[in-house]
Chains A and B, each alone.
Chain A
Amino acid sequence: MAERILAGTHFLNGDEACAEGAVAAGCELFAGYPITPQSEIAERIARRLPQVGGVFIQMEDEISSMAATLGGAWGGRKAMTATSGPGFSLMMENLGLGMMTETPCVVVNIQRGGPSTGLPTLVAQGDMMQARWGSHGDYGVVALVPSSPQEAFELTVRAFNLAETLRMPILVMADEVVGHMFERVVIDPEAIEIVERKAPNKPPGEFLLYEPGEDLVPQGMPALGDGYKVHVTGLTHDERGYPVLNAETQEKLVPRLRNKITHHIDQIVDYEETDLDDAEVIIVTYGISARSSLGALRLAREKGLKVGMLRLKTVWPFPGDVLKGLADRVGGFVVPELNLGQIVLEVERAVCGNAIVQHVPHAGGAIHDPETILSAIEEVFALAH
């Protein structure tokens, strides 16, 4: 039997590292449909899952991929699907079912240029708001964003863990460049923590499928055939899981789907700070854009400009409080992202006019040139002084 955790130092691209992260975290079912630039995840995991007792299913589309992932989770497995823009759009329907039925699983989007078929082989970060709001109705999301193959591995493990802790689908919003670039990936089994699915807190008969604990998360999840006779529905339901179609039940259920995330926000939010101590202008960025931004930061520091960087590893829930705190002590923020203005809107909302917010848009197809980001930094310095 091959190792679940492929200990050692490897040379992997982000997609492969993501697949290894999934296997390491205990993924036993992958349902997906081929799409560039995601296919290397499916290819890797199709090879790996049979080695560790898991099953790979190539579905007929991304609608069924998402649905089968949820089915796999209710069958007691850790399950994942992965796609890119067009497939992500098709997954929205059953992503909503996963949110409503509080089904732990992982959904990976290796973002490429859109809209529509867009740029199949080229990078973008244009699905960040779709990740937040893409399925109909109100719900909360957790989206992790890796900047390197190493992080693609680590954040995929983390996504599986958060899926169990929060009992919901967790998104990994990578991008084509992170997915396709090869780098060193160090896998240290000692450093990997794995959260297992919580068993029901009560025996059948007493157990309520959707009775939240103090942390607002349902208390354990039985698998098919465990004797709990669960009823799982996408309709608005009470704590037994039974459909109850009225405003009162809606009010009890739907705000909790968001509040359970807020309740765990300190446990979820993760970011990396670079040179923030003396910074007068801060680059706020994520994913591959953080790599260009780091180049810009170095160029700016060479010029004597006090620039720092806040790299978001979790974009949703958005760490508004962190931005709010920083806004009081810096002149401005520069927000490079490979879209025409998505996460910058959240930055503006958090900063609330207390500092300059300069977006560095890019329609996708390539990554930012550090010089472009540097010019934006210089503009903010000019405006702030």
Chain B
Amino acid sequence: MRVEVRLFATLRRYVPDLQVGEALTLEVPEGTTPRDLLAQLGIPPDDVKIIMRNGRHIGLDDPLADGDRIAFIPAVGGG
């Protein structure tokens, strides 16, 4: 299956070629979880504070589905 992955703020450092606003499209096996994606991208799960699937918060071990839009977000704030 295919998922679309976005990395925000400091996490973009792990994929240096990724442009601001650019998404990665990854071909992954059925049952892949956010934890698997992070392993594949070489991002330590501790650096990730929020994971969103299609605009909703999910956990590290929730299985993904074909076509999901995934975002990994570090600890951020603003106002």
A and B form one complex: no
Chain B interfacial positions (CB closer than 8 Å to A): none
